[in-house]
Amino acid sequence: MTISSSTNNEQPSELKLWGGRFTGATDPLMDLYNASLPYDKKMYAADLEGTKVYTEGLEKLGLLTKHELSEIHRGLAEIKEEWSNDEFVAKPGDEDIHTANERRLGEIIGRQIAGKVHTGRSRNDQVATDMRIYTRTELQKLAAILKTFIEVIVKRAKNEIDFLMPGYTHLQRAQPIRWSHWLSMYATYFTEDYKRLLQVIERTNVSPLGAGALAGHPYGIDREYLAENLGFNGVIGNSLAAVSDRDFVVESMFWSSLFMNHISRFSEDLIIYSTGEFGFIQLADAYSTGSSLMPQKKNPDSLELLRGKSGRVFGSLAGFMMSLKSIPSTYNKDMQEDKEPLFDSLVTVEHSILIATGVISTLKANSAKMAAALSMDMLATDLADYLVRKGVPFRETHHISGECVRAAEENKLSGIDQLSLSQFQTIDERFEKDVFETFDFEKSVERRTATGGTAKSAVLKQLDNLLSQLS
């Protein structure tokens, strides 16, 4: 075989998957600009598995002999072991994982047989297949650790069901709630994330393999066979869409962004609750750092990083959406920009879930500080509800309760519970001696027994319902 000469250490063009048309050398910078192996090597296992099953499909068509198929599978297994043991040696011209694996396959079993693995296949459907296999695997991993994270939150909520704390709106103390109710709120957010994630996995798990470059397979390969043996739920029914669809990448990154939004809010609450002004929680040393100057400091760096990394994930989604928005139909090289932001987002989310799980499972909740932060003005709505139960319209009772709050402030009392019965009756004669039973934080939360409320029975029901959704 004649090998054409090349300059700039260029790999002979006939060794490139696309090189037959070209005779001149490419700019070395262009080679670097075009290369994706430094990051798409993450997909080596997906690429090898796709080739393994694809060549089985070729053998079914009679385009490979059983001996050739056996040799190909032997070579693929050897390559996988090299990657697994960090022994794979990349060479100049290995512009991506597909080129590298096929080049190495030729070295192991000979180029005559290795050259047949690409029959009827394009890098367009090959990379789309690899991306879907890799993304599916990573999302399934995220689902497993996210489920554990939620279970840890639920377990903590059940163990600390009796802790009462202020609930806040506008960062102002509003009404008493259970600490477990707060935990259940975020467990609810994260459970919705979990359910959404399963839906994204389902939409990701369809096969583009066998679509060719864009127009379909010229030898009538059994695409359903390929899909089934690669663990896909079905095939993408249009060859043009099969090679160009990156909605699963966008959805994965959107899911990551929404999840990180929830993690960021979760982190912000815990940062606030860990301050000296609140003191509701104390982070474990493993998830805190000190100050280089002030020895008394214990900084919630784990939570701040969780909050900060949400911006990184949001940016990856926005950047890729801008790359994707004006691409004409079928495959274009712009789509190579899908990998780095997706890979980074998935790794960031994985690490974030693991850190958040560590934080919530090891922090100390200070029930005494939580209880001390409760104040009687937080029972003003309960005071209004007291009169509602006596038949007074709520709009009227709301106004009456506000007058009671003002009276306590004007008399410099520590709370509305310090008003005397005569003072209550001066404001409204329908107040009776049993009004003082209103001023009990435990009774306040226990009155809210409706689904989703903060009574103990309601919170436990929420937590059990979340666990049932995970199963």
DSSP per residue, 410-424: HTT-SSGGGS-HHHH
Using alpha carbons, select from 164, 161, 182 the residue that is nearest to residue 444: 164
At 291 the pLDDT is 61
At 26 the pLDDT is 61
Instruction: Give the count of beta carbons closer than 10 Å to the beta carbon of residue 165.
Output: 26
* Span(s) in the chain for CATH 1.20.200.10: 123-372
The tokens describing 366, both together, are 């200070």
At 7 the pLDDT is 35
Q: How far is CA 446 from the centre of its chain?
A: 35
Transcribe 155-217 into DSSP letters: HHHHHTTT-EEEEEETTEEEEEEEHHHHHHHHHHHHHHHHHHHHHHHHHH--B-TT-TTTT--
CA 252 to CA 72: how far, in whole Å? Answer: 33
Place of tokens 């089934």: 228
Task: Return the C-alpha torsion angle 178, 182, 183, 187, nearest 10.
Answer: 130
The answer to whether 31 and 94 have CB atoms below 8 angstroms apart is no
The answer to whether 428 and 419 have CB atoms below 8 angstroms apart is no
At 297 the pLDDT is 67
- Spot the catalytic one: 5, 170, 292, 468: 170
- HSE on the CB side for 257, CA within 13 Å? 19
Q: What is the DSSP letter of 93?
A: T
Distances (CA, A) of 12 to 6, 26, 105: 6, 11, 17
CA 277 to CA 373: how far, in whole Å? Answer: 10
Burial (CB count <10 Å: 0-12, 13-18, 19+), residue 262? middle
* Tens digit of each residue's pLDDT, the chain (471 residues): 233 333 333 344 445 554 555 555 666 776 666 678 888 999 999 999 999 999 999 999 999 999 999 999 999 999 999 999 999 999 988 989 999 999 999 999 999 999 999 999 999 999 999 999 999 999 999 999 999 999 999 999 999 999 999 999 999 999 999 999 999 999 999 999 999 999 999 999 999 999 999 999 999 999 999 999 999 999 999 999 999 999 999 999 999 999 999 999 999 999 999 999 999 999 999 998 766 566 666 899 999 999 999 999 999 999 999 999 999 999 998 998 999 999 999 999 999 999 999 999 999 999 999 999 999 999 999 999 999 999 999 999 999 999 999 999 999 999 999 999 999 999 999 999 999 999 999 999 999 999 999 999 999 999 999 999 998
Q: How far is CA 332 from the centre of its chain?
A: 28
Fold classification of 123-372 (topology level): Fumarase C; Chain A, domain 2 (1.20.200)
The answer to whether 344 and 316 have CB atoms below 8 angstroms apart is yes
| Geometric angle at alpha carbon 333, from 329 and 337, rounded to 5° | 110
Architecture of domain 376-470: Orthogonal Bundle (1.10)
- Phi, psi for 242 (deg, rounded to 5): -60, -40
SS3 299: strand
Architecture of domain 35-114: Orthogonal Bundle (1.10)
Residue 291 designated active-site:
yes
Using alpha carbons, select from 169, 156, 199, 190 the residue that is nearest to residue 358: 156
- Spot the catalytic one: 291, 414, 420, 457: 291
The dihedral region occupied by 248, where left means phi > 0, alpha psi between -120 and 50, and beta the remainder, is alpha
* Span(s) in the chain for CATH 1.10.275.10: 35-114
* Span(s) in the chain for CATH 1.10.40.30: 376-470
Which amino acid, residue 65?
Answer: T
At 36 the pLDDT is 84
